[in-house]
Copies of this chain bind each other. A is one copy, B any other.
Amino acid sequence: MTIGIGLLGLGTVGAGVAEILLTPQGRHPLVGQLALKRVAVRDLNRPRPVELPAEILCTDPQQVVNDPAVDIVVEVMGGLEPARSLILAAIAAGKPVVTANKAVIARYGEEIAAAAAEQGVYVLIEAAVGGGIPIIEPLKQSLGGNRIQRVSGIINGTTNYILSRMADEGAAYGDVLADAQRLGYAEADPAADVEGGDAADKIAILSGLAYGGAIERSAIPTEGINRLDACDVNYAAQLGYVVKLVATAQCLGSDADGTVQLDVRVSPTLLPKDHPLAGVHGVNNAILVEGDPVGRVMFYGPGAGAGPTASAVVADILNIAGIREATGNGGGLDPLLAANRWRPCRLVDQGQTLNRNYLRLQTGDQAGVIGRIGSCFGDEGVSIRSIVQFEASSERNDAEIVVITHEVQEDNFRRALASITALPDVKAVAACLRTL
Contact = CB atoms under 8 A, between A and B. Distances in A.
A318 B323 CA distance: 15
Given A27-B147, A145-B315, A276 B295 contact: no
B144 A315 contact: yes
Contacts of A14: none
A371 interface: no
Contacts of A299: 297-300
A50 to B, nearest CB: 12
A132 interface: yes
A336 B321 CA distance: 9
Contacts of A302: 294-297
Given A137-B137, A300-B276, A331-B331, A293 B19 contact: yes
Interface string A334-360: 111100001000000000000000000
A374 interface: no
Given A27-B147, A292-B307, A298-B300, A141 B137 contact: yes
Interface string A357-374: 000000000000000000
Interface in A278-333: 279, 291-302, 305-308, 310-312, 314-315, 317-319, 322-323, 325-328, 331-333
State the oligomeric state as a number of copies: 2
A306 B336 CA distance: 24
Given A138-B137, A144-B30, A336-B319, A301 B311 contact: no
Contacts of A35: none
A299 to B, nearest CB: 6
Contacts of A276: 300
A29 interface: yes
A143 interface: yes
B328 A331 contact: yes
Contacts of A326: 323, 326-327, 331-334, 337
B134 A138 contact: yes
A167 to B, nearest CB: 14
Contacts of A314: 144-145
A126 interface: yes
A126 B141 CA distance: 12
A145 B20 contact: yes
A432 B236 CA distance: 41
Nearest to A340: B29
A144 B300 contact: no
A26 interface: yes
B331 A327 contact: yes
B306 A30 contact: no
A133 interface: yes
Interface of A: 16, 19-20, 26-31, 126, 132-134, 137-138, 141-147, 212, 276, 279, 291-302, 305-308, 310-312, 314-315, 317-319, 322-323, 325-328, 331-337, 342
Enumerate the 7 nearest inter-chain pairs by beta-carbon distance, A residue then B residue, closest first: A293-B307, A145-B314, A297-B301, A134-B142, A28-B144, A294-B311, A322-B336
24 contacts: A20-B145, A20-B293, A27-B146, A28-B145, A28-B212, A28-B342, A30-B336, A126-B142, A132-B293, A137-B137, A137-B138, A137-B142, A141-B318, A145-B315, A276-B300, A279-B279, A291-B311, A293-B308, A293-B310, A297-B299, A297-B302, A299-B300, A322-B334, A331-B331
